[in-house]
Amino acid sequence: MDKSKSINISWKSILKVVAVILFLIFLYLIRDVIIIFIFALIVASAIAPAVDLLEKIKIPRVLGAVISYIIIIGLLAFLISLVVAPVIRDIKNLSSNLPEYIESLTLKFKSFEKTFSKYEGAIEQIQKFFIQLGERLQSSEKGIFSGVVNIFGGIFSFFLALVISFYLSVQKKGVQRILGSISPFNHRDYILDLWERAQKKLGRWLQGQLFLGIIVGALVYIGLYFLDIKYALLLAILAGVLEIFPYIGPVLAAIPAVIIGFLQAPILGFWVLILYVVVQQMENYLIVPLVIGRVVGLNPIIVIMALLIGAKLGGILGMILAVPLTAVFAEFVKDLVKKKV
């Protein structure tokens, strides 16, 4: 009995595989555009209820969209104006004082050498690290220029997404119309139903994440202010922004704060560490379960992986969109398990 099996592959099958591969490559090449468009969809979905409400009270939809966006942009501009000047001042002061801080750290490490002589090699490595860090930061004009370019690129992408979201908001159910027009007819109803569910989850996630960042940032600022730690506002904003990273973010935010406190006085470094631990415990056992846990319902490991992949593919915008898109994908997987698709 001949156990060999013949596999017939037609040219049509090969062309299909090649077409799929080329399509995936094309999507990867335009990933920045896709991320901007997805961000616009989320913003339009978040603003749609306000525009719908204004339309119900006889305000034309275009005017309602204009009013909604003016209010939102005005609030953002007001909040930014409150913090930009102090943050820029703190950054300038930190940059100018950085050599002094590095020298202070080096002297403190040297003072420990007598007590911890057996760790002399490790201490020397730490000293070299801080010296090299200072040299790199002081001679990084090119890096600063590229950083500024990236920031302005991000700002341009943000406002482009706002423009797209505005045009979507002007149309009644504009997002649903676009999804319906690009969806296969056989799956159109399911895709629109999935979007309705995802839209609610995305909105709640965005609100929860903003609330979490504001609460944590405010708690950190109050604590640092009463401890009289330098650059309190800058460190508090950093703590709020890094809340997007579960577990890792608070640790990354605490490191510079503890170092700055330690440089002011060793006991202050200890109290700053205690402050961040207390805030972290409040976040884990009180704020997150009430704000985030019930909204997204994703495993923290999955969240971290999603953030890393999003940052790799789309930078800051990709990282911001990673968790909500993963939550939408999780809804799709649930439907697959339930065989709704």
pLDDT per residue as tens digits for the range 75-133:
878 877 777 667 677 777 767 776 776 666 666 666 655 555 555 555 555 556 555 55
Q: Is the pLDDT at 201 greater than 50, yes or no?
A: yes
**Inside any domain, residue 297:** yes
pLDDT on residue 106: 67
Closest CA to 272 of 288, 245, 248, 253: 253
What are the C-alpha distances in Å from 178 to residues 23, 49, 262, 338? 20, 18, 55, 27
Single pTM value for the model = 0.62
Measured in whole angstroms, the distance separating CA 310 from the mean position of its chain's CA atoms is 9
In a domain, 115, yes or no: yes
The stretch 293-318 carries a mean pLDDT of 70
- The mean-pLDDT minimum among 125-139, 209-223, 225-239 falls in 125-139
Residue 272, pLDDT score: 93
Q: Coil, strand or helix: which one is 227?
A: coil
CB 235 within 8 A of CB 253: yes
pLDDT tens per residue across span 135-193? 554 454 444 444 444 544 566 777 888 888 888 888 777 777 777 777 777 778 888 88
Q: Is residue 8 part of a domain?
A: no
Query: How many CB atoms are located within 10 Å of the residue 153 CB?
Result: 13
What tokens appear for 20 in the block?
């799929």
Q: Is residue 11 part of a domain?
A: no
**How wide is the angle at C-alpha 319 spanned by C-alphas 212 and 299, nearest 5°?**
65
∠ Cα 55 58 62 (to 5°)? 50
Residue 47 CB neighbour total at 10 angstroms: 22
Could you count the other beta carbons within 10 Å of the beta carbon of residue 314?
21
Structural domains counted in the chain = 1
Is 6 part of a structural domain of the chain? no
| Residue 73, pLDDT above cutoff 80 | yes
Please say if the pLDDT value at position 27 is more than 70: yes
Domain that holds residue 191: 31-132+141-338
Would you say 307 and 209 are in contact if contact means Cβ atoms under 8 Å apart?
Answer: no
Would residue 16 count as lying in a domain? no
Residue 97 lies in a domain: yes
Residue 3 lies in a domain: no
